Each structure stands twice: as structure tokens, then as C-alpha cells.
């Protein structure tokens, strides 16, 4: 087995760890020479990929790939699909499964209602519209190659080194209050486990990768502060808070995303809700990463 992860960042590294086993070759790409050492420390064979060209080393490695994971955000289209179209780079004959990491942002705003994979997508932001186009491109690529292509729609990602404890510790945590607002979350290790599960079962199509408990963002901060034994930051009204345009845009979408399809396929979450997940991160001391 040869797993290659394009854009091997926080989620990609978790996927690499989920697949790691004797006899499994794991490769990952990054845009930065500095990040190559971190990939190697995690047992990942590191390649540079700037989204524009496939060098000879990467092309050779691509030739033996059995499991391809694409995690790079689109920009004027999906960079890897564009190269596969324009370049002589092609998907290997050994390919058995494709995974494309997308976002629940493609659904747009549903005013707090429960939604699932059958819910029509009404993306608000340009970046979510591009994601939807990339999803369609990878599903079509899988069909053309005759291999299952799974679209993993991820909710808000957190885990060791990226969580409410870190924000409280750095003094950057904010308790923003917007009436009836909820967000969906997913622990990064469950992203890795879900990718491995879908590949092992040869599953393609669209899957929401999100935990059981959508909830108000301020509640997560309060729970993390309780576990740390510190005072949570003061409440701030969303309407008057100073936010970047991107941060404000996240609050323009409100939905409760169902994971029932993934569970029905037989997947079991290790971190099904944020209270137990935060407690585990705090107790084992891995919250810092």
C-alpha cells in the first residue's frame, strides 16, 4: 500500500498516522521546505509541491500510489485536477481509492436546522463554491478511473495543539454570543480514522465528518476554562465585536450537520462530542500538541 497525501498539514498528518502500519508507504506534500522535516519526523516521505508543477521525484512516487488523499484548498480550481488535465502527470493504474477533503461550508446557511448529505448546497462564500466544484471534479475523476472517490466534508477541526485550551493559554480565546448560533466540530484523529475506514471498505460518495454534538461556540470556551480551572473570557456581543471579514463570514452560516450516513456505514467515533474530547485532551496533557 502507498498512501499519498497532497497538502499534508494538520488533517493530512492525522490521516497519515491512521494509515501507518508495517509495509505501508506514506508520502505527503508541502509547499514549504521548512515543513518537510516535520513530515519526516512523523514517518512521512516528504515532497515539495507548489500547486503549479509536479517535479520528477513526485511524479515517480505518484506512479505507485494506491490511496490518494487531496487536502489542498482550491484556488482558481483544484490545483491537482488542473495538473492532471494539463500535464502529462496521470493517476497511476495501481490506484484503489481517492479521498477529497472538503468542508461542511459547502452547505451554506440553514438557519440552525439539521442537514445531511442529501441537503441541497447553497454555498455563501466564494471559497465554498470552489470546494463544491472541486468535489464534483474528484467524484468524476473517480468514476472515470473506476475507483471509489470519497468526499469528506469536514466540520471545524481541533485536536492536540489546536483547541480552546491553547486559545485560553495564549489569551486569544473569545466568548462571542450570537443568538441561536451553533457550529459543528470534529476531532482531527477522527478525520484520520474516517479516511482509513472509508478506504478499507472501498466507499465513495459524500460523507459528513462531524461529531454528534453541534453547539454554541461560547460553550466550548466555558467548558475548556472549567477544565483548566480558569475564568472564561467575558461575553462579547457578536454584532459589536471586532472581527476579520473571514471570521464574521463563519457566523453567517448556521446549521446542525448529521453524521448518520457515516455511522450507518459502520464507523464509530473515538471522540463523539466535545466535552469528553476536551476532558481527554486535558487529562492526558496532549492539548499543547
User: Tens digits of per-residue pLDDT, 111-156?
Assistant: 999 999 999 999 988 889 999 999 999 999 999 989 999 999 999 9
Position 22 confidence tier, pLDDT thresholds 50, 70, 90: confident
Q: In whole angstroms, what separates CA 97 from the centre of its chain? A: 17
Determine contact, residues 10/186, Cβ cutoff 8 Å.
no
Residue 151 grid cell = 468526499
Kindly list the domain boundaries of the chain, sorted by start residue.
2-156+185-209, 160-184+215-255+270-284
Residue 239 grid cell = 454584532
Residue 145 grid cell = 478511473
Beta-bridge mates of residue 154? 103, 209
H runs (alpha helix) in 148-273: 164-170, 188-200, 217-228, 245-250, 260-264
* The residue count for the chain: 289
- Dihedral sign from CA coordinates of 158, 162, 166, 167: negative
Which among 77, 14, 15, 8 has a CA at the least distance from the CA of 39?
A: 8
Q: What is the pLDDT of residue 153?
A: 98
Write down the pTM of the prediction. 0.96
Beta-bridge mates of residue 186? 157
Position 89 confidence tier, pLDDT thresholds 50, 70, 90: low
CA angle 115, 119, 122 (to 5 degrees): 105
Position 87 confidence tier, pLDDT thresholds 50, 70, 90: low
CATH code of 2-156+185-209, in short, is 3.40.50.720
Position 168 confidence tier, pLDDT thresholds 50, 70, 90: very high
What is each CA distance from 159 to 106, 130, 155, in whole angstroms? 23, 26, 13
Amino acid at each position: 500500500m502507498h498512501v499519498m497525501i497532497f497538502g499534508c498539514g494538520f488533517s493530512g498528518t492525522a490521516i497519515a498516522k491512521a494509515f501507518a502500519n508495517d509495509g505501508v508507504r506514506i508520502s505527503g506534500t508541502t509547499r514549504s521546505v521548512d515543513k518537510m522535516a516535520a513530515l519526516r519526523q512523523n514517518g512521512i516521505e516528504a515532497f515539495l509541491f507548489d500547486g503549479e508543477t509536479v517535479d520528477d521525484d513526485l511524479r515517480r512516487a505518484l506512479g505507485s500510489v494506491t490511496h490518494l488523499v487531496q487536502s489542498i484548498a482550491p484556488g482558481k480550481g483544484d490545483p491537482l485536477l488542473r495538473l492532471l488535465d494539463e500535464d502529462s502527470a496521470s493517476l497511476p493504474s495501481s490506484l484503489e481509492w481517492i479521498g477529497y477533503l472538503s468542508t461542511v461550508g459547502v452547505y451554506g446557511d440553514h438557519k440552525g436546522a439539521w442537514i445531511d448529505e442529501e441537503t441541497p448546497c447553497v454555498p455563501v462564500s466564494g471559497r465554498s463554491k470552489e470546494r463544491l466544484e472541486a468535489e464534483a471534479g474528484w467524484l468524476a475523476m473517480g468514476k472515470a478511473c473506476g475507483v471509489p472517490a470519497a468526499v469528506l466534508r469536514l466540520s471545524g477541526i481541533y485536536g492536540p495543539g489546536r483547541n480552546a485550551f491553547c486559545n485560553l493559554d495564549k489569551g486569544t480565546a473569545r466568548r462571542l454570543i450570537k443568538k441561536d448560533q451553533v457550529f459543528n466540530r470534529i476531532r482531527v484523529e477522527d478525520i484520520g480514522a474516517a479516511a482509513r475506514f472509508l478506504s478499507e471498505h472501498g466507499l465513495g460518495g459524500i460523507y459528513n465528518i462531524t461529531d454528534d454534538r453541534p453547539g454554541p461556540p461560547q460553550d466550548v470556551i466555558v467548558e475548556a476554562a472549567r477544565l483548566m480551572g480558569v475564568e472564561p473570557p467575558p461575553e462579547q456581543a457578536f454584532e459589536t465585536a471586532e472581527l476579520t471579514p473571514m471570521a464574521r463570514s463563519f457566523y453567517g452560516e448556521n446549521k446542525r450537520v448529521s453524521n448518520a450516513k457515516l455511522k450507518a456505514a459502520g464507523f464509530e467515533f473515538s471522540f463523539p462530542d466535545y466535552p469528553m474530547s476536551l476532558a481527554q485532551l486535558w487529562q492526558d496533557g496532549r492539548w499543547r500538541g
